[in-house]
Every structure is written in C-alpha cells, then in structure tokens.
Amino acid sequence: MTNDIAHPLSAEDISEYERNGLLVREAGFLAEDELRELSAATPEILDSRGPEVVLERDGTTVRSVYGVHRTFAAVRDLSMHPRLVGAVGQILGGEIYVHQSKLNVKAAFSGDQWEWHQDYINWLRSDGIPRPSLVNVAIFLDAATEFNGPLMFIPGSQRLGLLPGKDRIGMPVNYEDAPSWVNTLTADEKFQVDRDAIRTLAEQGGLFSAKGAAGSVLFFHSNILHASLPNISPFDRKVLILVYNLVDNAPEHVDTPRPEFLAERSPVALVPRIGKT
Ligand code: 6CS
Ligand code: FE
C-alpha cells in the first residue's frame, strides 16, 4: 500500500493482483467512520422489498439486494471513495464506473451456496460487456471466518479467460415463476464450469479462503474461479460487492437488457468524492 490516496496500491500489490487475480486489504483500507456509515445503512438495505431483492431457495431468506449504490447514499458515497476509485483505476488503467452493486447476505443458519463460477460470463452473456476488464470490490460487513461461508478462490484461474462449461437449461428449481434475469443470481449456477477444469486448476493453483475482519476489502478479477459454501453458523457473512468497469468497455447490444439495478446501461466516468481520508 502507499500513502497516495489516489494511487493506494503499490507496484507489488498490482503484480500480486495480476498474478493471483485477487488482493485482500485487511481493515484499515477504509476509515472507521465510513464503515460505520455503511453498517448504519445495512438494516434499511435488508428491509428492501422489490425486484432487486433475490431470496434463497428456501423462499424466505434474503440472498442478495442489488443496485444498492443507486438506492442508498452511504453505498453511493462509498463507491466514489478516492481510495477505491484510485485502486480500481490503477488495476484497470482508465476511467471507471459502477456496473453493478449488491449486498450478499450469506445469512446465519440459512445462507446458501454459490457454486464454482466466473463472474464475467454473466456480464458478457446477460449484459453484452465486450471485455473482462471489470473488478469486484468486496467490502466485508461481517468478519469472514472458516465457519460462516467465506468466499473461496482458485488463485491464477483468471489467466485462462472463459473456461469450458455448459448452461443450466431453464429456470432453477423454486424460481420457476421468477423473472428471467433471476436465472444467474441463485445457488444453482446458470453458467456451469466443467468440473475437470475446476479440478485441474485447483490442483495447480490451490484454494484460497478469503477470511478477514469486518472492514477488510477484497479485490478480485472478473474471470477468477470462486465459490462459497452454505452458512450454517450462527453468524451472518454480509459483503457489499461493487463491480467496477471501464467506461470504454460499456455494455453493447443485447436482445433483452437486464434491469438497471443489475446492469448500468449508460455509464458515466466516476469522479472520486473529495474530503475523505
Ligand atoms: O448475473 C450476475 O450479474 C451475477 N451472477 C453471478 C453468479 N456472479 C456475478 C454477478 O453478480
Ligand atoms: Fe461471483
């Protein structure tokens, strides 16, 4: 890390990200008061009722709330934080905007799995984004431990681009009557990666469990293979994920565009908010 808020990643940080496809910055990357603002907004986010809320397969537990940077000032402010905009700008090397945001709850006792997947294929096939130059920035709202379903990754798996796989046909079980765009947001992955490829890459790159204290910030590549187990612990594992994209990599035509709370269709370059440390 550096002390330059507009370029917070060191050369070593950037080469670690390029090698592994991920980078974890423990608590301290964002100031306590900013994290407090975000935590204060969380109950209201969890009270959301509408199409941006996706439930778990049990039909009652909230899995994710999408478009939170568009609806909640605390999230929008955070998405413009100079240290986040600076770090993502260093990784992507150009003007950026938020393509998608979500609060993934991974609720205590009933937070369901996320099968092994790559994120970018969703943004290519569903949103028409031409290149994988997107970065996920996950901000831990709860501590992620070995007990509450931490994100797990295969470091280096992003280097092969889109991996072989097949589409799950039809809507996932228990979502038969849901809107079509729910298809890629559930515990039953739509774009399934071949298990031989997953096994080979895991044997080569190993597995990494993204554990960390609340307030940790995790950057990960749009093509890195990742997953998470169900959470049967008594502790939530909430993460806010901001998906940044290059303005010059904006979505191209798709026959049925997804709602704006899932995919920004008219990107404007982000200007970092001044006045934050
Ligand atoms: O369809 C999407 O946009 C979401 N689906 C998955 C499985 N991960 C990335 C993204 O948030
Ligand atoms: Fe994902």
Reported as a single tens digit per residue, the pLDDT across 206-240 is 999 999 999 999 999 999 999 999 999 999 999 99
User: Which of 22-36, 46-60, 220-234 has the lowest average pLDDT?
Assistant: 22-36
| DSSP SS3 for 229 | coil
The size of the chain, in residues, is: 277
Nearest in space to 30 (alpha carbons), one of 102, 95, 82 = 82
Atom of ligand 1 at shortest range from CA of 114: 7
Confidence of residue 276 (pLDDT cuts 50, 70, 90): low
How remote is the CA of residue 274 from the centroid of ligand 2, in Å?
30
Measured N-to-C along each axis, helices 11-20 and 82-92 cross at an angle, to the nearest 10 degrees, of 60
Q: Is 185 in the pocket of ligand 1 (CB under 6 A)?
A: yes
CA angle 112, 143, 108 (to 5 degrees): 35
Q: Is 101 in the pocket of ligand 1 (CB under 6 A)?
A: no
Task: Decide if pLDDT at 1 tops 80.
Answer: no
Strands (E), 31-169: 53-55, 62-66, 96-104, 114-117, 134-140, 152-153, 165-167
How far apart CA 129 and CA 188 sit, in angstroms, is 23
In one-letter notation, the amino acid at residue 85 is V
Mean pLDDT throughout 43-52?
97
Task: Decide if pLDDT at 27 tops 90.
Answer: no
Check: CB of residue 29 under 8 Å from CB of residue 209: no
How far apart CA 257 and CA 274 sit, in angstroms, is 34
Q: What is the pLDDT of residues 64-73, one digit of tens each?
A: 999 999 999 9
Q: Is 264 in the pocket of ligand 1 (CB under 6 A)?
A: no
Mean pLDDT throughout 152-175?
97
pLDDT score of 34? 85
Q: Is 183 in the pocket of ligand 1 (CB under 6 A)?
A: no
Q: Is 231 in the pocket of ligand 1 (CB under 6 A)?
A: no
